[in-house]
Chains A and B, each alone.
Chain A
Amino acid sequence: MNRPANASVQTKAILRAFAANSTEWRYGRSLTQETGVKSGTLYPLLIRLADGGFLESKWLEPERPGVPPRHAYRLTTKGLALATEQAEPNLGSGARPLGAT
């Protein structure tokens, strides 16, 4: 499988956050809050993941009126495979497998 060059600590944190509930659509703000990765680092990573086909995105209607639609993201099958692969080295050290609930 083609791996992106950006297998950084931040990328792994983002992949972990996505993989924790891989069917759920995630927002940028919640990802920054959950992972501690700042927006200026998060979005270039999201762009690269999307360009590589690891991430799909769509605009979701807002939950309340008066706020704009939000761009939401989730892993593709290819992205989920990458997240699992990135997590594998940690399995032996007791880390939770990606995608486990």
Chain B
Amino acid sequence: MISLITRIALSFAHWMMPPSERGWLVAMEAEMRHATDDSERLAWAVGCVSTAMVRHRPGEGAYVAMIVLHVAALIIVDWNTVRTEVSVGMIVYCSVFLSVLRPSRLWLHAGWVGGGLFAAHAASDLTGLARPFYQTQDLTATEWCIIASVIIPALWGSYAGERIGRGLAVHHRRSATGA
């Protein structure tokens, strides 16, 4: 399990690291190979993710693509499960992740994630096209309210992501100034 988490973390770090600096991640991975146990390897993998996040400089295009991909993934997941906790978990993950990347835009992320899912349900219900497999008839007023309430975990996740993102920024600023 730990080695799986380590591999996922490394993949994420490689994806996030600017291409011109990926050699440093290769260097970190080489050091990781000299670790004596799984917990040390995991610590190095976390270090890789942290380094990648510090060096990450997303352009506006990549950032917009990130929003689109996350909202699309959220809709696909929600369309294919009846388990509320899975959908809520995905909403929280998407809003936290996006707000860590751009803490100043937390409201936008909550709107895109919560509003995106609501809009997808509304569009499918009103047009009758591509309805989720679990929806056999038009939405009732109660169901509309339930779907509108997805904004709550989206807001919560965006706020949590904003706190994490700003915390990371403060931590690295302190590291940089010696405070």
Contact = CB atoms under 8 A, between A and B. Distances in A.
Interface of A: 5-12, 27-29, 38-47, 57, 67-71
Contact of B28 (A28, A45, A57): A28
Given A6-B175, A29-B35, A47 B24 contact: yes
Interface in B23-78: 24, 26-31, 33-35, 43-44, 46-51, 54-55
A92 to B, nearest CB: 19
A41 B175 contact: yes
Contacts, number: 79
A31 B120 CA distance: 51
Contacts of B175: 6, 8, 10, 41, 44-45
A6 B176 CA distance: 4
B35 A43 contact: no
Nearest to A69: B30
Contact of B24 (A7, A27, A29, A43): A43
Contacts of A45: 175
Given A39-B28, A43-B51, A47-B55, A70 B176 contact: no
Given A40-B49, A41-B175, A43-B47, A67 B33 contact: yes
Contacts of A57: 27
B177 interface: yes
Contact of A40 (B26, B29, B46, B178): B46
Nearest to A42: B47
Contacts of B176: 5-6, 8
Contacts of B48: 39-40
Interface in B76-133: none
Contacts of A39: 28, 31, 43-44, 47-48, 50-51
B174 A71 contact: no
B21 interface: yes
14 contacts: A5-B176, A27-B31, A29-B34, A29-B35, A38-B43, A39-B28, A40-B54, A43-B24, A45-B175, A46-B24, A47-B51, A70-B30, A71-B30, A71-B31
